[in-house]
């Protein structure tokens, strides 16, 4: 009698205790999100300083090219008096050399080396291109083609340097961090360029800021 009572009691109470035990150890959704953020932060904070230096420089150089590309058609139309069609055509040439020279240049640098030299020379060409754009009397086609030449090499060389300063187990986190930096830079940069244009009434200060950024 006592044995059957004990067994029925244990059968009646153990499922509740088991459920309570499981629920007490179950991870809630907020706990899961906190754990995910903590794991990502732990990986990101272990990335070396050299990686962050290259990643920030890569983002700055992307801003030098992409911010101008976003308003280049309006700039050519407003400053040089070009028609919307001609301004759009000239603006589209800012990426013309990237299609051909980026893969060919990457193949050449992989075999011959000299990534840093190519990056420095491309940076100098970019500064010259922005200087020429500030001289309104000149045809904008030449500086925009020079800028396209630089864009074919600088982002490619900077991205190519990233794996050399990362452990292979952190490639995903590293390149993910670069994408986040690029997105934040584009977001803040585009808003800043638009604000300068609205306040000053022209693109002069936008171009001056991009020229100074290219000097970095």
Question: Using one digit for the tens of pLDDT, what is the confidence trace for 67-96?
Answer: 998 899 999 998 888 898 999 998 888 888
The count of other CB atoms within 10 Å of the CB of residue 7 is: 10
- What is the distance, to the nearest Å, from the Cα of residue 159 to the centroid of all Cα atoms in its chain? 10
CA-wise closest residue to 205 among 192, 214, 187: 192
**pTM tops 0.75, yes or no:** no
Question: Using one digit for the tens of pLDDT, what is the confidence trace for 153-173?
Answer: 888 888 888 888 888 888 888
Under 8 Å CB-to-CB from 150, ≥6 apart: which residues?
65, 122, 123, 125, 126, 129
Question: Using one digit for the tens of pLDDT, what is the confidence trace for 22-56?
Answer: 445 566 777 666 666 666 666 677 788 888 898 89
Give the model's pLDDT for residue 198. 93
Write out the DSSP string of 62-112: HHHHHHHHHHHHHHHHHHH---HHHHHHHHHGGGHHHHHHHHHHHHHHHHH
């Amino acid at each position: 009698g006592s044995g059957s009572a004990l067994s029925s009691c244990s059968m009646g109470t153990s499922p509740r205790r088991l459920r309570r035990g499981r629920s007490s150890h179950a991870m809630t959704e907020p706990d899961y999100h906190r754990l995910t953020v903590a794991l990502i932060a732990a990986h990101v904070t272990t990335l070396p300083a050299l990686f962050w230096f290259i990643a920030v420089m890569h983002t700055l150089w992307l801003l030098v090219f992409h911010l101008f590309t976003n308003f280049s058609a309006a700039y050519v139309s407003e400053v040089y008096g070009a028609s919307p069609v001609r301004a759009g055509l000239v603006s589209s040439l800012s990426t013309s050399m990237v299609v051909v020279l980026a893969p060919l240049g990457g193949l050449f640098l992989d075999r011959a080396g000299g990534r840093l030299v190519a990056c420095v020379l491309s940076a100098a060409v970019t500064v010259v291109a922005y200087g020429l754009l500030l001289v309104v009397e000149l045809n904008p086609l030449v500086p925009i083609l020079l800028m396209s030449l630089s864009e074919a090499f600088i982002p490619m060389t900077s991205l190519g340097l990233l794996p050399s300063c990362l452990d292979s187990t952190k490639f995903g986190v590293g390149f993910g961090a670069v994408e986040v930096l690029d997105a934040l830079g584009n977001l803040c940069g585009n808003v800043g360029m638009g604000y300068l244009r609205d306040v000053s009434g022209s693109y002069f200060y936008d171009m001056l800021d991009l020229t100074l950024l290219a000097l970095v």
